[in-house]
Amino acid sequence: MPTKLPVKLENDPQKRLWEKHQSIEQKSVNSYKEGLCYNCFKNKAVSATLADICQECFDKRGTETILAMVVEKFYGMCFFCGKYKFPIVQYNFRLCMHCHEGVRKILTAYNKAGGFYGHDPFWKSMKKKQGKTWARQLRQGTL
C-alpha cells in the first residue's frame, strides 16, 4: 500500500494551495503520483512543471488541470509548438513523462541554438544581416 505522498510544503500559502488542488479531481494526484496530464489529458504518473505556452496551444487544451498562472510574458517561445508568439504565458501544471519528453526536446533544440538570441527568428535574421559584430553593435546602439 502506498503511504501518503511525501510532499514538502514550506509555508502556509503552499499548504493551502496544495490542499485546494487536491480537493479538485482534475488537479489532484493520488498516492501513486498519478493525475491528469495537462497536455494529453490522460490519467498517468505526472509531475508538476512550469512551462511557457502560446494562446493557440492554450486554446487547444483544457484549463481544468492548470494549477496556477505564473507570469505573463510579452513575447517568447511556446514550449509546446516551439514557435515564437505574442503573448506567451507561463503556467504551472502537471505533465506525464511522455509529454515532459516532448517539451524537453523543444528546449534542447532551443538551448543548442544558443538560447533566446540564437533561436529566436528575429535575432537569427539580425545576426545574418549584421554578421558577427551584431551583439557589440547592439550594446553600443549602432544597429
Q: Which residues lie near Zn ion (CB under 5 A)? A: 37, 39-40, 54, 57, 78, 80-81, 96, 99
Angle made by CA atoms 38, 75, 27, in degrees to the nearest 5: 20
- Indicate the residue among 40 and 126 with the shorter CB distance to Zn ion: 40
We find the least distance from the C-beta atom of residue 42 to Zn ion, in angstroms, to be: 6
- Indicate the residue among 52 and 123 with the shorter CB distance to Zn ion: 52
We find the least distance from the C-beta atom of residue 81 to Zn ion, in angstroms, to be: 3
> Greatest CA span in the chain, whole angstroms?
66
Q: Are 30 and 3 in contact (CB under 8 A)?
A: no
Show Cβ contacts of residue 80 under 8 Å, excluding neighbours closer than 6 positions.
39, 51, 53, 54, 57, 102, 103, 106
- Indicate the residue among 77 and 123 with the shorter CB distance to Zn ion: 77
We find the least distance from the C-beta atom of residue 13 to Zn ion, in angstroms, to be: 28
